[in-house]
Amino acid sequence: MEYVRDFRWKKGMSASELACGLSKVGFQSIELERAVQAIVKMKKAGAKIFFTFTSNMVTSGLRGFFAQLVELGMIDVIVTTVGGIEEDIMKAKGEKFIIGKFDSDDTALHEEGINRVGNLFVRNESYARFEDIVGPMLKTLYQKKKRWAVSDMFSEIGHELDDKNSILYQAAKKKVPVFCPAVTDGAFGFHLFMFQQDNPDFIVDVVKDFSNILYCTSHDDVKGLICLGGSISKHHAILACLLNGGAEYAVYMTTARHTSGSMSGATTQEAKSWGKIKDDSDAATVIGDVSITFPIAMVHALDILEKDGFIPSKVTKNAC
């Protein structure tokens, strides 16, 4: 039997000490600790780890952390939405996004050519410059071959980038496939459409990529899921695990609620009814803002794994 433990601050408290201190407070902090332990266990078990996230997380500063997790060998498969791909490329080419306010005058922002993502602002000019970047990339791809599976295309693009904080760059370097089943749902998709108008034999093969994600694992693999947010990125990874016998480990982090019946709000418990994760899996569902919950949980997990020799110790210091 476990008991509630009072949380107390101490001078110089580390992120891991914070997470550990919260582990017996109650409510979502209990689930956060379960998430930490599930992440540690999946890595120690040699699981193939599927990592999913939505594009708004790449708009935020979590992008560099995601790239670092790939660099550290924590991620084996990535599934995301196309906005995250676009903004990863934008940032790799020097674009900077603005910290604004949730209660901004959106009509005024539109007149100024600024797009709001929560309390983050992205200028129209960023998308205009993205057009100048992606055009030559597509020409290079077309010159190499006419038909591309989506993940192969992103690997090729990742090799053209030179930014250690880029998800595509690190994924290409580490041979981690990046899947994006809804590749046309954004600016990148529009540019694919426009390029294909002039080059009708240029094909981006989404069905082939479904084959790629299915065959990147098997029933024999131990499988782990870390799903941040919901949408198609979450379901695509879960489906790949389902069709390969289900996952042994799963961590879901979201602000959505299970009462909506949505994929975004679906819990790890609900997933067992589908066979998406196994009945005896180590699983946790954390409700809260991923920009807060995920770094706390993952930093604690990394500290445990680094201490036990499961990841390399080459983390650089960061000043706030």
Residues known to be catalytic = 276
Q: Which amino acid is at 246?
A: G
Distance, CA of 293 to CA of 287 (rounded, Å): 9
Residue 249's beta-bridge partner residues? 224, 282
* 3-class SS letters over the chain: CCCCCCCCCCCCCCHHHHHHHHCCCCCHHHHHHHHHHHHHHHHHCCCEEEEEECCHHHHCCHHHHHHHHHHCCCCCEEEECHHHHHHHHHHHCCCCCEECCCCCCHHHHHHCCEEEECCEEEEHHHHHHHHHHHHHHHHHHHHHCCEEEHHHHHHHHHHHCCCCCCHHHHHHHHCCCEECCCCCCCHHHHHHHHHHHHCCCCEEEHHHHHHHHHHCCCCCCCEEEEEECCHHHHHHHHHHHHCCCCEEEEEEEECCCHHHCCCCCCCHHHHHHHCCEEEEEEEEEEECCHHHHHHHHHHHHHHHHHHCCCCCCCCCCCCC
Distance, CA of 83 to CA of 136 (rounded, Å): 19
* 3-class SS letters over 267-281: CHHHHHHHCCEEEEE
Residue 149's beta-bridge partner residues? 205
Residue with tokens 């379960």: 34
Distance, CA of 198 to CA of 221 (rounded, Å): 43
